């Protein structure tokens, strides 16, 4: 993190590792909730392919996080701040500066909405069809 003149808040250009793990967890939740729609025939095959694609996307993020942890970056502070510190700081995006909390919400909220919504739909399907 660096500090800019005229601002008391640190400015970050990268995401904290915890945010990547939240994305991985929500992706896994989504993949598991998709299985709530599996039925007989081709539906199970289609759901398996969708879950596989989500697992690949989550796996890529997880591998990137693990590689970054192993390698480390020479320009980073050896003692990175916590997620709470990052949420209180500012984030430098391509479109301008945002609060860290707003940037995290913009990344996490769409995936969380889909994962929770898919879980709710699966629960309603099982209640309705009695499966």
Judge whether 2 lies within some domain.
no
Q: How far is it, in rounded angstroms, from Cα 49 to Cα 24?
A: 18
Nearest to 32 by CA among 24, 40, 21: 24
Q: Is 37 in contact with 122 (CB distance < 8 Å)?
A: yes
Q: How far is it, in rounded angstroms, from Cα 10 to Cα 3?
A: 5
pLDDT given at position 72: 63
Number of domains comprising the chain: 1
2 versus 12: which is more confidently predicted?
12
**Mean pLDDT, range 114-125, rounded to an integer:** 90
Structure tokens at 11: 């400015």
Judge whether 35 lies within some domain.
yes
Judge whether 3 lies within some domain.
no
Judge whether 1 lies within some domain.
no
Judge whether 5 lies within some domain.
no
The band of 40, judged by pLDDT with boundaries at 50, 70 and 90, is: low
Judge whether 95 lies within some domain.
yes
What domain range includes position 95?
Answer: 10-75+82-129
Model confidence over 48-88: pLDDT tens digits? 788 788 888 888 877 887 787 777 654 554 445 788 888 88
Sign of the Cα pseudo-torsion (104, 106, 110, 111, in order): negative
The band of 7, judged by pLDDT with boundaries at 50, 70 and 90, is: low
Q: How far is it, in rounded angstroms, from Cα 115 to Cα 57?
A: 14
pLDDT given at position 126: 82
The percent of residues above 70 in pLDDT, for the chain, comes to 82
**Mean pLDDT, range 101-114, rounded to an integer:** 92
């Amino acid at each position: 993190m660096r500090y800019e003149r005229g601002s008391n808040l640190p400015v970050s250009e990268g995401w904290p590792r915890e945010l990547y793990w939240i994305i991985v967890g929500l992706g896994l939740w989504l993949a598991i909730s998709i299985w709530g729609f599996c039925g007989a025939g081709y539906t199970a095959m289609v759901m398996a392919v969708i879950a596989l694609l989500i697992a690949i996307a989550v796996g890529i993020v997880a591998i990137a996080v693990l590689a970054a942890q192993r390698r480390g970056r020479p320009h980073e502070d050896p003692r990175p701040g916590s997620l709470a510190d990052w949420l209180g700081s500012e984030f430098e995006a391509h479109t301008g500066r945002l609060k860290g909390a707003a940037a995290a919400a913009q990344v996490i909220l769409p995936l969380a909405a889909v994962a929770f919504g898919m879980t709710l739909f699966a629960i309603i399907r099982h209640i309705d069809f009695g499966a």
